[in-house]
Amino acid sequence: MQAYAYLLKEESEQQLLDKLLPKTHPLLQPDPQQLYLCIHCRQVISDQQQLLAVRGSHEHYRINPAGADFRFLCLKRADGCRIEGPATTEASWFSGHCWQFAHCSHCDAQLGWYFSGEQPHFFGLIKSKLLLELAG
């Protein structure tokens, strides 16, 4: 009976692993269980279901007029963000879009930008400001 119980336990652990380990590349098949957290305070900012391909890619690399470079992800929604400042088209990385700052609503760190104006509206969040974590 004990051996039987042990086998059952082993099987359920393997099933758990199957659920946790992505079967395909996460960029090809976004996994809703993966969350993006603020790297400073670990508040949940968004999740991989919100990834959005903008002009052919959901990841972009841009350099601002001051020479700082950023690698960021495009997300439809980022409920853990607060949008700050007036919308401007000045030096916009996406023509037709204006931008505002996107801050963590908990610790106020700047995590990226919110792009609006033209459709689609989206968040561009800096990869190095986010932690990726499995939900649950």
Cβ closest to Zn ion, residue 35 vs residue 104: 104
What is the distance, to the nearest Å, from the Cα of residue 92 to the centroid of all Cα atoms in its chain?
A: 21
Our finding on whether 38 is near Zn ion (CB under 5 A) is yes
Strand segments (E) across 16-109 = 34-38, 44-47, 59-63, 69-75, 81-88, 97-104
| 85 contact partners, CB below 8 Å, separation of at least 6 | 100, 101
Sign of CA dihedral 103, 80, 49, 88: negative
Q: Which residue has the tokens 């993966």?
A: 34
Letters for 41-80 (x = contact with Zn ion by CB under 5 A, - = none) are: x-x-------------------------------------
Q: How far is the CB of 50 from Zn ion (least distance, A)?
A: 17
> Which one of 12-20, 39-47, 65-73, 119-127 is the stretch in contact with Zn ion (CB under 5 A)?
39-47
Answer for the pair 23, 33: CB distance below 8 angstroms, yes or no: no
Our finding on whether 111 is near Zn ion (CB under 5 A) is no
Answer for the pair 92, 99: CB distance below 8 angstroms, yes or no: yes
Q: How far is the CB of 98 from Zn ion (least distance, A)?
A: 24
Q: How far is the CB of 105 from Zn ion (least distance, A)?
A: 8
Cβ closest to Zn ion, residue 100 vs residue 105: 105
Interface residues with Zn ion (CB under 5 A) are 38, 40-41, 43, 104, 106-107
